[in-house]
Structure 1
Amino acid sequence: MNIKTPKKLIEVALPLDAINAAAAREKSIRHGHPSTLHLWWARRPLAAARAVIFAQMVNDPGYERHLGRGVNKEKAAVERERLFKIIEELVQWENTNNEEVLARAKAEIWKSWRETCELNKGHPEAVKLFNPEKLPGFHDPFAGGGALPLEAQRLGLESYASDLNPVAVTINKAMIEIPPKFAGRVPVGPEIAIDKGSKKRATRDAFEDWSGAQGLAEDVRRYGAWMREQAQQRIGHLYPQIEVTAEMIAERPDLAQYQGEKFTVIAWLWARTVKSPNPAFSHAEVPLAGTFILSSKAGKESYVEPVVDGDNYRFTVKVGTPAVGAKDGTKAAGRGANFRCVLSQTPISGDYIKEEGKAGRMGARLMAIVAEGPRGRFYIAPTSEHEVAPEHADPNWRPNGDIPTRMTGGNCTPYGMTTWGDLFTPRQLVALTTLSDLVQEAIPRVREDAIASGMIDDGLGLDQGGRGATAYAQAVGVYLSLSVDKATDYNSTLVTWSPTRDQAKTTFARQALPMVWDFAEINTFAGAAGDIAISIEGIVKAVPSTPRCQPGTVVQNDAQTQVISRDKVISTDPPYYDNIGYADLSDFFYVWLRRSLRPVFPNLYATLAVPKTDELVATPHRHGSKDKAEAFFLDGMTAAMHNLATQSHPGFPVTIYYAFKQSETKDEAGTSSTGWETFLAAVLKAGFALSGTWPMRTERESRAIGIGTNALASSIVLVCRPRASDALTISRREFIRELNATLPDALLDMTRGGINSPVAPVDLSQAIIGPGMEVFSKYSGVLEADGSRMSVRSALQLINRFIGEDDFDHDTQFCLAWFEQHGWAEGRYGDADVLARAKGTSVGGLSEAGVVESASGNLRLLKWAEMPRDWSPENDSRVPVWEALHQLIRALNQEGETAAGQLLARMPDKTAGITALTYRLYTLCERQGWAEEARAFNELQGAWTGIEQASQDAGHIGSQAALDI
């Protein structure tokens, strides 16, 4: 079309450190975060989404150079730094709804848009595509948890979201479609009293105004409180309090202070049971308890102790140091579902348990009761009243539908829990159905109150685009339904109790439905997690944090066939190959949402289960084999990506997230895995060329390093533009030649900063993909020597070689090779001698250099902690980069950043080599799974800014290369 498209900031530079820091911090924020509306798996942090969309829409200050014009590089650098400052403010959680910060970001978006419109005003498509008075719309065709369309809306774009999954569609409607539609409305429900410190105030006085979605949120609170009150009146008898009696105190003197008092039960802790396989005890149902530990908090230790009396047993609760074996419950040694009979110690095999479960003979026995006391939670042994209370529960409905028999992460179906209704106790079913019924009762009440308050009723519901009393009532009903769904996550028999935190974990503590042997049944009226009031309050705090201005539109649609993307800005977060079975998992919630919301969204909830046939996830059990699943994913993702390549607005690149796991890098190809390769192949096959890749720390860090786990998973953000229609085909040799010309400078820029902050070692193997795949993807094909097309895997292998091809001195080359073979362990002297000769050095020279120790026919590398503290680089005639690096690590760990900086100032010629070697060693350790070894190198890079500053303060001016680090 010959459209002039300025390069965007995201195609040139980003302040990665600021984005990553904000994204990591956001993961710990719960109150008021839109993610608390409802669980969704693998959400993108709002900070990352906001930064990416902003940088995707704003022109790079040097864009005129990309259009073949002259440009002042210094001026462009200053402008780029100004844009970085905007992003650094924009990503802070505190600025999520800061109108002043958002206004500056929007102004930059408009400025760039008008510049682009001016460049194309003579183009025949200009009137349609480049209207300087109206920004293009935004679309995410894999909307999922809704972070991307939400942040596009926050940045002033009219936002469109689509997804095949009805649960995702509902979440997105609650985030971007409903709040703007009813913004500024005064609440219509009867006022209730809310706690304000030591006082209670009417909700009329709780807020200064009802701007934005405050009024809508307040009605959710008011009608939610009515729902909870009604539910407690109807089924509260199923949740009795626990009274401390004299009989209890006889066994537990520590309870004497509570004699005669009644306490609210937080949870009932149950163990599943099966008939004993021992013929002598076959009449007895014995517990399958994974642990008897109730609380492991210091000073509050509590545990269950079974008391056996002939062919019977009971549970008692003890306080203090747990008895031997309490940690393992009745679990037998070894992995899997292997237990022992508490009466006879007879082994209970997993196969036996499965047979009992499938035959419907698995039961449950109450082990302990968790109560809320005046000084925290405490544990009480079961009583007859609380053992029989659940028997009064008689549910009149239970969710239908089969749980998938195979699921990523495992599931509970082999044990007879095959339908969604099997995951709930009768008491849980009564509670959840009662609350679900009350949603339907609340909606007409809201409508009547809305009309009484003066709201016009057009008779149209949300599904018909209504904006009157009927639609408003249904909108409140949507959030009440989501609150019931949130409570469901805490009210199933797959909920476990955390002894370290004295609280329940959710059903989805991880992305699976694994079997749980001892489970926590929550009191839904206890005022704790799982209480409907807690779920409602979370939603009430989240709704006002949604944007207040631009409208949003959400529809159910297949990404492969949708036409919503036409001439829109696109940023999307597709499924990650086989990592998460979204449709299988979300059926758990769908069956409950459908019960409440089918009258509101009849088309969206028409099916009995979430659509699965067209879901773009490579699940072998669904497609018959791993190869067929991969082919399905590749074909489907290619079609979806091609849809984006042909429909996206030509003035902007498309940004695509791929959640990358470190465990995907452990092979000879470096950053490579079946999922990653297949995804990349789909993107390229669809007609996209990459103009950048950015590693972003968008996942929760549960550990500092976590090598070999997904704890440090990153997202790679692919920046794509449609490949030129006349793209050439080149040979493998030409491709390698272009890589040789491109990647060294790119690697230098990444490790030394350049126009960006330095890329962390953990992200380097991902970041280098960008410039490498930019070369690969701009051609229609790269031909191997035999004429076949080069695969994505082969291209990745060639790209990743560059991370380890730095030129080091001979001693350092030996140390690298030896470290890769032996780590810090000893090896044979003879082997070391052969390797040293091959590397152009000698064992004697290495000893003289102070990097190895040899004795008794063996040799090993010296660790940084063994390096001499009084080392002087000025007086050392042989200073390999290896020694300089490890002395610097020693100084950092033993004396701090200042001392390390002062040491660096004394060896300025080693700076570039130290930096390169740090990255090389980190990558090596990461691929080997050496977490502790990797830590030192990662920490050095993390402290590099402070070390460099201390070096300069010590008088080190250094070379330009050192200043650019």
Structure 2
Amino acid sequence: MTHPIKSPRKLIEVALPLDAINKACAREKSIRHGHPSTLHLWWARRPLAAARAVIFAQMVNDPGYQQGGGFKYGKNKKDAAIERKRLFKIIEDLVLWENTTKEEFLEPARAEIRRSWREVCELNKGHPQAAELFNPDKLPALHDPFAGGGAIPLEAQRLGLEAYASDLNPVAVLINKAMIEIPPKFAGRPPVNPAAVKRGESSATWKGATGLAEDVRYYGAWMREEAQKRIGHLYPPVEITAEMTKERPDLKPLVGQKLTVIAWLWARTVKSPNPAFSHVDVPLASTFILSSKEGNESYVVPIVEGNQYRFTVKIGTPPQGAGQGTKLARGANFKCILSNVAMEGDYIKSEGRAGRMGGKIVAVVVDGPKGRIFIEPTPAMEVCAKSAKPSWSPETSLPDDHRNFWTFNYGITTYGGLFTLRQMEAMTTFAEIIGEARTRIRVDALATGMDDGVCLDKSGEASTKAGAVAYAEAVSVYLACALGRASDYWTSLATWEPGGGFVAHGFTKQAIPMVWDYAESNPFSDGTGNWEQTCVSWVVRVLQNFTPAAGGLCNQADATRQSFSKDKVVSTDPPYYDNIAYADLSDYFYIWMRRSLRSVFPELFSTIAVPKMEELIASPHRHGGNVKAESFFLNGMTEAMRRISNQAHIAFPISIYYAFKQSETKAEGGTSSTGWETFLEAVFQAELSLCGTWPVRTERVNRSVGIGTNALASSIVLVCRKRPSDAPSISRREFIRELNSVLPEALDEMTKGSGEERSPVAPVDLSQAIIGPGMAVFSKYAAVLEADGSPMSVRTALQLINRFLAEDDFDADTQFCLHWFEQFGWGIGESGVADGLARAKNTSENGLVSSGVIFWKGGKTRLLKWAEYPTDWDPRTDLRLPVWEALHQLIRALKQGGESASGALLAALGGKAEAIRQLAYRLYTLCERLGKAEDARAYNDLITSWTGIESAANSVPKPADPQGTLFER
């Protein structure tokens, strides 16, 4: 006799307050101080608000079921709506950043999770696995097998669930240990440093991880003192001399004073290509502006003296061209400062590969009595910088991957090459001192009466054994995180920001760029990029906010081979096909983690570099081309999803985040997105059935364009359950019939107002969200069979769903324009939002630009108005001709040349006439509804003139077709 598990639908399978979640996510992306993402850099993190809301909705039963007369759904809709509204209010409070650590908002959420869990346990009382899976006194744990930056397990822990995190990448593993594993072990413990012990505060003072944070602050300051003793001579102050005041009268009051350097500003150099100056290293400076702050402008002026040059600093408004430096154009194109001879990219690359790329100080930022002062460099400054003699340098090779690593062609081929000699000596010195700090912390911990215990790596879940050794190791983990932050600033990838007056960290992109001008911070200053404020203090702020409500454990594991107990709920954020080279990028931080923490985690840091071949991304340079890379990703992701499907707690759905930027490829049936379809194919083959998709705004659409080959506004949260083993197959015709039955109702549900039981889905996200109900139909069957008996592909299923979403036969570009116009009109929107909508409509931003319907630049997108369309347009030679373009070209022709001109165009458009007319009707109705009277008039004019336009078209002789086809694209 079988005992089916009774599993109520969860809130996430029915409804979410998306507006509140998305607003909180957007706001959170601007929060920096104290945010867990600032503990250590990781790429493409999920916002905490999204993770918190998704986990809550995944754990809580939807109110639309009732008990009585057996397990069934059918609770009074009005009562269910009221109850959902109450749950929505909990989520709306829960997602706000200011409520992240407030128990008055967290505890009601935990209580709802416990209540729902008891209901599930009661429903399954007497089940053979009740003791294993349905213990009402113990909540299920949550497991994330692609833990990455740790947002999901951290929020599970905050909601009272034990958190289990795993990842193949050791850098991700360490971040998760620092976030979810270590804080619970030492929660509530007072600090052990002598200064805190001497103050004698009571243990009640040190809530959560605040005691741990205080020790990180104290021993971080001790590290600075020790490092300054050893390498302080490499960072001397600048004495203001009378000689300096000849060109800078403003420095006269400072003569004789020794000022601390905040940063040295460098430009890379190569040998001049002019034979007359071939012995001179000339600068590759992309700007000479030091400060663009109004009222405090400063800039560099190069002074050429024979076959030499020097730099001086001027105060005031920069002259025209100062912002260009020695740059000629975009990319690696500069001019020789001595001869004005052009230096193109190929020449600069050859100089770099020949080992002739160097650096020259352009200006120095010092800490003056009333703020920062820019002064010109002296030869002694470069001599000092180049006198550093680091005892070690990481010789790990950078990958020859030109998509993500841009220094390789310029001769910078190792991770060590990304640091100057002085930066390398600073990094190695601080890394060595972390080990010394660990010894010191253990001694201080023992002095407080703490037992020695066992080391952190062996303590597992037995927190009672985590004594002085483990505590010292724990503090050193956070000091290593501070060193990771330092490596992001003490690098020749860091730049000076003239607008803000600060050193910008190196990783502003999900890539290692080629930087021409770089800023070298002084670790011992009190300014930007220093050890204590920029590195240690940021880690301390994060730790102070950790108040774990449950335990956590993190380990290194390959998701395609991992096994875990079946009492865990799964929420995860897997890699996005080929968007981010996590392992290659992680080596940048791994080399420093390994140097400072290898004795603490010998197994985690046993390899010279981060594991690469097993990493689950479609990397062509690693797997020998796009086809093999796609196959590797599909096979690996299918196996990972199959393991999740087979091992996740059967009473709960699985939630999976996925964000992938559309890359347009031509194929039969239209445009497709390989990354998105391949992932859905893996989900389907893993016998998972979709029961919902939610577009959650998880990406910063205003971030640096380079951060993003993955510049999306939304992640799609897929909600899945295991497909029954006896699921039937259906025919293509039956599938389409079911789509036509299900999707209209789903669309109606998604557009309901917030006064009902769900928040409305925004128009730009509606297309992506409704793929969920469509794929739910597809994925609940073992197969959808084509006419020849072959199984339908995910690509075909998506095309059929998209056809329904179009509500007509409009092409993909026109569908995009329609939905964009409904949301933004002719206004400007973020390109990340546009890309998400384009992906949903089976097109792409690049394709839309080439079709001539949108303007896209600098992260902004807008539709072109009819007046902006070209007057010399010929539809007979246009290879990409959306109905939207044809309509607005007709309006332009009508406005500028009357019915005869628009009739001539209509004649050339062939079979598109009816689609154009339908689109004009639809847009007129839409403009009326949106109150866009002027726009409505343009479409009305075309419609009222249609008879005359058709008459004019009929009088035009049919044009010859240069392509040999009718123009019915």
Out of 784, 787, 812, the residue aligned to residue 785 of structure 1 is 787
User: Over the residues paired in the alignment, what is the CA RMSD in angstroms?
Assistant: 3.3
Hey, what does 1:769 align to over in structure 2?
A: 771
Residues 1:825 and 2:825 aligned together:
no
Q: In the alignment, residue 745 of structure 1 is paired with which amino acid?
A: E
Q: Is the 8 A contact 1:829 1:857 kept in 2?
A: no
Hey, what does 2:468 align to over in structure 1?
A: 469
Hey, what does 1:14 align to over in structure 2?
A: 16
Hey, what does 2:721 align to over in structure 1?
A: 721
Q: Is the 8 A contact 1:663 1:709 kept in 2?
A: no
Instruction: Map 1:401-480; keep pairs closer than 5 Å.
Output: 401-406=396-401, 408-465=403-460, 466-480=465-479
What is the CA-CA distance between 1:603 and the residue it aligns to?
0.5
Deviates more, 1:638-647 or 1:760-769: 760-769
Q: Is the 8 A contact 1:497 1:505 kept in 2?
A: yes
What is the CA-CA distance between 1:377 and the residue it aligns to?
2.5
Instruction: Map 1:50-89; keep pairs closer than 5 Å.
Output: 50-64=52-66, 67-89=71-93
Hey, what does 2:326 align to over in structure 1?
A: 330
Residues 1:313 and 2:309 aligned together:
yes
Q: Is the 8 A contact 1:670 1:796 kept in 2?
A: no
Hey, what does 1:735 align to over in structure 2?
A: 735
Deviates more, 1:375-384 or 1:141-150: 375-384
Deviates more, 1:204-213 or 1:318-327: 204-213
**CA–CA separation in structure 1 for the residues paired with 2:709 and 2:757:** 31
**CA–CA separation in structure 2 for the residues paired with 1:206 and 1:539:** 24
Out of 788, 794, 797, the residue aligned to residue 795 of structure 1 is 797
What is the CA-CA distance between 1:110 and the residue it aligns to?
0.9
Out of 25, 28, 37, the residue aligned to residue 26 of structure 1 is 28
What is the CA-CA distance between 1:104 and the residue it aligns to?
0.9
What is the CA-CA distance between 1:375 and the residue it aligns to?
3.8
Q: Is the 8 A contact 1:768 1:800 kept in 2?
A: no
Deviates more, 1:482-491 or 1:294-303: 294-303
Q: 1:704 to 1:283 in 2, by over 3 A?
A: closer
**CA–CA separation in structure 1 for the residues paired with 2:402 and 2:574:** 19
**CA–CA separation in structure 2 for the residues paired with 1:829 and 1:72:** 62
Q: Is the 8 A contact 1:269 1:366 kept in 2?
A: yes
Hey, what does 2:648 align to over in structure 1?
A: 648
What is the CA-CA distance between 1:881 and the residue it aligns to?
6.3
What is the CA-CA distance between 1:382 and the residue it aligns to?
0.8
Q: Is the 8 A contact 2:404 2:512 kept in 1?
A: yes
Q: 1:260 to 1:705 in 2, by over 3 A?
A: closer
Q: Is the 8 A contact 1:829 1:858 kept in 2?
A: no
Residues 1:355 and 2:350 aligned together:
yes
Hey, what does 1:38 align to over in structure 2?
A: 40
Q: In the alignment, residue 332 of structure 2 is paired with which amino acid?
A: A
Q: Is the 8 A contact 1:407 1:581 kept in 2?
A: no
Q: Is the 8 A contact 2:579 2:709 kept in 1?
A: no
Give unpaired runs (5+ residues) of structure 1. 194-201, 833-838, 862-878, 895-899, 901-965
Residues 1:695 and 2:695 aligned together:
yes
**CA–CA separation in structure 2 for the residues paired with 1:711 and 1:350:** 27
Q: In the alignment, residue 270 of structure 2 is paired with which amino acid?
A: V
Hey, what does 1:935 align to over in structure 2?
A: none
SS class of match (2:802): helix
Hey, what does 1:178 align to over in structure 2?
A: 182
Q: 1:354 to 1:665 in 2, by over 3 A?
A: closer
Deviates more, 1:416-425 or 1:453-462: 453-462
What per-residue deviation string (whole Å, max 9, x for no partner) do you get for residues 599-649 of structure 1?
Answer: 000000000000111000111000000000000000000000000000000
Residues 1:597 and 2:597 aligned together:
yes
Hey, what does 1:168 align to over in structure 2?
A: 172
**CA–CA separation in structure 1 for the residues paired with 2:107 and 2:479:** 33
Hey, what does 1:508 align to over in structure 2?
A: 507
Hey, what does 1:569 align to over in structure 2?
A: 569
What is the CA-CA distance between 1:254 and the residue it aligns to?
3.4
Residues 1:129 and 2:133 aligned together:
yes
**CA–CA separation in structure 1 for the residues paired with 2:624 and 2:143:** 33
**CA–CA separation in structure 2 for the residues paired with 1:428 and 1:27:** 30
Q: In the alignment, residue 315 of structure 2 is paired with which amino acid?
A: V
Q: 1:785 to 1:374 in 2, by over 3 A?
A: farther
What is the CA-CA distance between 1:476 and the residue it aligns to?
0.7
Hey, what does 1:251 align to over in structure 2?
A: 247
Hey, what does 2:954 align to over in structure 1?
A: none
SS class of match (2:327): coil
What per-residue deviation string (whole Å, max 9, x for no partner) do you get for residues 365-401 of structure 1?
Answer: 1111112334432321112332222133111111121
**CA–CA separation in structure 2 for the residues paired with 1:727 and 1:408:** 43
Hey, what does 2:658 align to over in structure 1?
A: 658
Out of 134, 140, 144, the residue aligned to residue 140 of structure 1 is 144
Q: Is the 8 A contact 1:671 1:800 kept in 2?
A: no
Q: Is the 8 A contact 2:65 2:74 kept in 1?
A: no
Q: Is the 8 A contact 2:148 2:173 kept in 1?
A: yes
Q: In the alignment, residue 269 of structure 1 is paired with which amino acid?
A: L
Hey, what does 2:518 align to over in structure 1?
A: 519
Out of 339, 346, 352, the residue aligned to residue 341 of structure 2 is 346
Q: Is the 8 A contact 1:400 1:591 kept in 2?
A: no
**CA–CA separation in structure 1 for the residues paired with 2:274 and 2:202:** 64
Q: In the alignment, residue 420 of structure 1 is paired with which amino acid?
A: Y
Instruction: Map 1:783-862; keep pairs closer than 5 Å.
Output: 783-805=785-807, 824-825=865-866, 853=895, 855-857=897-899
What is the CA-CA distance between 1:597 and the residue it aligns to?
0.3
Q: Is the 8 A contact 1:749 1:755 kept in 2?
A: no
Residues 1:216 and 2:216 aligned together:
no
Q: 1:246 to 1:884 in 2, by over 3 A?
A: farther
Out of 365, 368, 375, the residue aligned to residue 380 of structure 1 is 375
SS class of match (1:287): strand
Q: Is the 8 A contact 2:238 2:258 kept in 1?
A: yes
SS class of match (1:392): coil
Q: Is the 8 A contact 1:139 1:160 kept in 2?
A: yes
Instruction: Give the 4+ runs in structure 1 shifted more than 4 A.
Output: 202-208, 662-672, 703-706, 708-712, 819-823, 826-832, 850-861, 887-894
**CA–CA separation in structure 1 for the residues paired with 2:398 and 2:658:** 28
**CA–CA separation in structure 2 for the residues paired with 1:673 and 1:222:** 51
Q: Is the 8 A contact 2:65 2:72 kept in 1?
A: no
Q: TM-score, normalised by structure 2?
A: 0.83
Q: Is the 8 A contact 1:504 1:529 kept in 2?
A: yes
Q: 1:187 to 1:669 in 2, by over 3 A?
A: farther
**CA–CA separation in structure 2 for the residues paired with 1:211 and 1:821:** 59
Q: In the alignment, residue 497 of structure 1 is paired with which amino acid?
A: W
Q: Is the 8 A contact 1:751 1:759 kept in 2?
A: yes
**CA–CA separation in structure 2 for the residues paired with 1:273 and 1:430:** 22
Out of 367, 371, 374, the residue aligned to residue 366 of structure 2 is 371
Q: Is the 8 A contact 1:493 1:521 kept in 2?
A: yes
Q: TM-score, normalised by structure 1?
A: 0.83
**CA–CA separation in structure 1 for the residues paired with 2:173 and 2:773:** 36
Aligned residue pair count: 851
Residues 1:497 and 2:501 aligned together:
no
Residues 1:261 and 2:257 aligned together:
yes
**CA–CA separation in structure 2 for the residues paired with 1:700 and 1:893:** 34
What per-residue deviation string (whole Å, max 9, x for no partner) do you get for residues 422-451 of structure 1?
Answer: 111111111111111111001111111111
Q: In the alignment, residue 772 of structure 1 is paired with which amino acid?
A: G
SS class of match (2:741): helix
SS class of match (2:205): coil
Q: Is the 8 A contact 2:143 2:568 kept in 1?
A: yes
Q: Is the 8 A contact 1:305 1:316 kept in 2?
A: yes
Q: Is the 8 A contact 1:265 1:370 kept in 2?
A: yes
SS class of match (1:489): helix
Residues 1:485 and 2:487 aligned together:
no
Q: Is the 8 A contact 1:138 1:149 kept in 2?
A: yes
Residues 1:274 and 2:270 aligned together:
yes
